[in-house]
Each structure stands twice: as C-alpha cells, then as structure tokens.
C-alpha cells in the first residue's frame, strides 16, 4: 500500500494530465501541444522534487521516513529530466509565432543545465556501468562539492519556468493551463528559496563537543558527543546530520545514532569508506566542536507486529544498538536478530548485545561471519519461524545486501509493507 506522500504525488501528476487533456485550446498542432505538455509536466515534477528537498517534518511523516523522501526526490527529478530532453523535439515540430529570444535562451540554459546536474547526481551508480571517463570523475567528487553543484538545480528550474511563460503559445491562450503552470512553478521556486535561505533557521541545530573518540578497528571510529546546552531529542533508530569543526570545514553528513534517548552523550559509529570519513577516523579529536541537525527517519520496530526479524549488515548495526539500549521491561517482541559482518573480528558491541539478550530472552542474536558462513539469505533468517506472512522485518546495511534480502523475504510471502529498511542515500 503506497504511503500518503506517494498517493498525493500521484494525484498531483494525474491531475495535471487531466487538466492538459481537458483544457486544450483550439488551433494547437498535436505535436507541439504534446511537447508543451511534456515541458509543463517536467516543471511540475521538478517542483515536486524541490518541495521534497525542503526536509519539512510533515513531508517526512507523509512518506514514512526521510529515506523514502530522498528516493522520490530522485525519481521525480529523473522523470522530469527525461521530459525536458524530449520536450524540444515535439515543441519544435510546429513554428511558434513571435517567440521571445530571451525565452528561447533560458530554455537552452535549462536544457543543458538540468540533464548535466542529473548525470552528476547519478554518477556514483552510473560508474559501475563503465560509462565515460567524465562520469567516473564526477562520481569521485567529494560530497560537499557535489552538494554545491546540486544546489544549482533550483536556478535552472526557475529558468525553465520563465522560458515556458515567455515562449509557450498554449499558456498564452489558456488561462486554466497558465494558472496551473504558475502554481506548480511558483511552489517549486518558493521551496528552493526556503531551502537555500530559510531552512537553516527552521530545522533545529544543536551544539555539541566531541567528548571521546574510540577506534575499535582500523575501519571504524566511535564518536561520543557531549551537548553544549540543550541536547537533541530523538527516538531510537533515528539519524542526524552532523558537522564537525576542523575536519574539512563543517561538512554535513547523515549518521545513525547508536545511543539511547536517555543517555546524556550522543554516540555515532562511522565507517571509514570515503575521503571525509577516513579523515574523521584519522584526525578527529576530543574537544572538536560539532553541530547536529535533526532528528530524521522513521526506523522504529515499535510500529511492527509481535514477531520480527532484525538484520544488521556491518556498520548498519548502529540504529539497532539505539533500540537495544532503549529496551526496558515492557519489551514484548519476539526477535531473531542477525548481525552480519565480513569477519567476526569486525563485529562491534557483542558484549552489550549479549547482555541485552540475557536480560530479554525473546531477543535472540546471531552473528553471521560472511567470510566463513557465506552471505545471509532470507531463507536462513526466516528458518523455523511459523507463518512468515505475519513477520515484520527490519534491516540496515549495504544497499545490495538489503535489496537481495528484501526480494528473498517477498518470495517467502512477507508483504513489502512489513519489510522496512533505511534506503537513505544522499547521492
């Protein structure tokens, strides 16, 4: 069953299609009218993408988590780029009388800029397909430089909106279509202005100081943050955006919280897999100032049924530790908890997980050494569980692992609505 946010997004798109089908003015050539529809629909989808990027709490709740918002932000933007690319071939199939030169040039700017930013955004996933050297280079650009370029999207969308108003002959003769176009484009531009100028004053930011830094292995760093003033309130399983002073200048990155809400210190575990996280592992020291924004996410086992499967892959154990540390005598779930690591030496928090299992017998942990035992499968995780359709699955780990397990659980008859895994990926 789609979330409220997805249903609303679909209703907006369908409503636009109905409007353009029913309000077509006379005298418009078929090909050009279809092209102008593609252009207007692209503006609508880009505007939806910009609205989803505002990080507003109501939007997050409607989609069931910020990871789902990020997914649909990408889906709508990619669909919009496709429409932008095919728009000129249809719109130019018949001459446009008295076309504005400025409007045409703004259209060229949008036609070049928006697909270019889309390729940049998708570069990490396109790299695996052995695309051009340029794509591979874009994929290696730091997150902060990528984010700076990505933030230009709103300017190109604004250029596309003005282009349509100045050039599109349909909008000039149809008041309903022009009104719909202005509302869609105006909302997108307003969302962009809010995101760039005002969101920093709306999303709460909390000051912290790095109290301790521990390195349990060569790839992981555990960071303990002491609040300076009012601490951040969160639910177990949520994540925050953290920026550390002194390590490449206050770059914001998402990290799941490992501590329980009742703990004074905020704890995050960082896997050193990129330039920034390797710098954190090597350079971060106690006393470094930090800023935390959030919290975000809806990864919460309490919304599921009595029988559950928890699966953590590598550093994906972090949100589960927040859950485990928050357990009390009211814990009433029957949980098979699988912690998959490349080797058992890489496993973190084993003593703490064991102590939690001793205190809560319905929590049954299993460490899976993939180097020794092979990769965990859905069949192995669900083995011995009666009536798989009633089981709820919660997972956090590498995307490829999560996707494979999700497909496996669905084949076993577990509904997709009962399989929850954080699919948040800022790129």
237-252 confidence digits (pLDDT tens): 999 989 898 655 667 8
Asked if pLDDT for residue 149 goes beyond 80, the answer is no
The rounded distance, in Å, linking the Cα atoms of 317 and 268 is: 11
Asked if pLDDT for residue 129 goes beyond 50, the answer is no
pLDDT tens per residue, range 305-358: 999 999 999 889 999 999 999 999 999 999 999 999 988 778 889 999 999 999
Residue 77 in tokens: 């933007």
Write down the H helix ranges in 199-317: 199-202, 275-283
> Residue 348: which of 225, 272, 258 has the closest Cα?
258
The rounded distance, in Å, linking the Cα atoms of 342 and 354 is: 19
The rounded distance, in Å, linking the Cα atoms of 17 and 14 is: 5
pLDDT tens per residue, range 310-322: 999 988 999 999 9
* 14-18, 65-69, 260-264, 421-425, range with the lowest pLDDT: 421-425
Q: Is the peptide bond before 295 cis (omega within 30 degrees of 0)?
A: yes
* Percent of the residues in the chain that have a pLDDT greater than 90, as a whole number: 58
The rounded distance, in Å, linking the Cα atoms of 199 and 388 is: 43
* 2-6, 34-38, 76-80, 157-161, range with the lowest pLDDT: 2-6
The overall average pLDDT reported for the chain is: 87
Residue 264 has a pLDDT of 87
Residue 284 in tokens: 């971060």
**Under 8 Å between Cβ of 110 and 84:** yes
Length of the chain: 427
**Under 8 Å between Cβ of 354 and 367:** no
The rounded distance, in Å, linking the Cα atoms of 368 and 352 is: 17
- The whole model's pTM is what? 0.76
Residue 288 has a pLDDT of 93
Residue holding tokens 């946010």?
5
Asked if pLDDT for residue 135 goes beyond 70, the answer is no
The rounded distance, in Å, linking the Cα atoms of 427 and 416 is: 24
Which DSSP helix (H) or strand (E) runs through 296? strand 289-296
The rounded distance, in Å, linking the Cα atoms of 234 and 296 is: 8
Count of other CB atoms within 10 angstroms of residue 336: 21
């Amino acid at each position: 069953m789609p979330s409220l946010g997805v249903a609303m997004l679909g209703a907006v798109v369908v409503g636009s299609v109905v409007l353009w089908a029913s309000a077509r003015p006379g005298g418009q050539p078929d090909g050009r009218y279809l092209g102008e529809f593609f252009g207007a629909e692209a503006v609508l989808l880009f505007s939806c993408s910009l609205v989803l990027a505002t990080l507003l709490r109501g939007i997050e709740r409607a989609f069931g988590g910020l990871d789902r918002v990020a997914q649909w932000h990408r889906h709508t933007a990619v669909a919009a780029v496709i429409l932008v690319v095919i728009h000129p071939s249809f719109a130019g199939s018949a001459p446009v009388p008295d076309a504005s030169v400025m409007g045409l040039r703004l259209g060229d700017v949008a036609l070049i800029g928006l697909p270019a930013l889309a390729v940049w955004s998708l570069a990490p996933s396109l790299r695996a397909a052995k695309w051009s050297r340029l794509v591979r280079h874009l994929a290696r650009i730091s997150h902060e430089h990528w984010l700076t370029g990505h933030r230009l999207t709103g300017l190109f969308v604004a250029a596309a909106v003005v282009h349509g108003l100045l050039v599109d002959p349909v909008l000039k003769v149809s008041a309903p279509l022009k009104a719909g176009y202005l509302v869609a484009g105006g909302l997108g531009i307003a969302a962009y202005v809010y995101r760039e100028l005002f969101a920093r004053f709306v999303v709460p930011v909390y000051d912290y100081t790095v109290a301790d830094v521990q390195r349990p292995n060569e790839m992981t760093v555990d960071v303990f943050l002491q609040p300076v003033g009012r601490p951040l309130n969160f639910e177990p399983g949520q994540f925050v955006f953290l920026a550390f002073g002194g390590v490449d200048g206050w770059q914001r990155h998402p990290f799941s919280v490992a501590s329980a809400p009742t703990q004074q210190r905020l704890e995050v575990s960082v896997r050193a897999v990129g330039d920034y996280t390797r710098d954190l592992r090597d350079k971060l020291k106690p006393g470094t100032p930090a800023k935390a924004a959030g919290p975000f996410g809806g990864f919460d086992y309490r919304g599921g049924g009595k029988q559950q499967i928890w699966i953590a892959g590598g550093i994906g154990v972090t949100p589960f530790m927040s859950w485990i540390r928050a357990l009390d005598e009211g814990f009433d779930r029957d949980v098979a908890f699988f912690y998959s690591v490349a080797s058992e030496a890489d496993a973190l928090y084993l003593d703490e997980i064991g102590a939690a299992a001793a205190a809560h017998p319905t929590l049954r942990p299993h460490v899976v050494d993939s180097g020794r035992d092979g990769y965990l499968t859905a069949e192995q995780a669900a083995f011995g569980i009666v009536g798989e359709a009633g089981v709820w699955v919660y997972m956090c780990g590498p995307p490829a692992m999560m996707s494979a397990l999700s497909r496996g659980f669905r084949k076993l008859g577990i509904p997709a609505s009962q399989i929850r895994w954080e699919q948040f990926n800022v790129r």
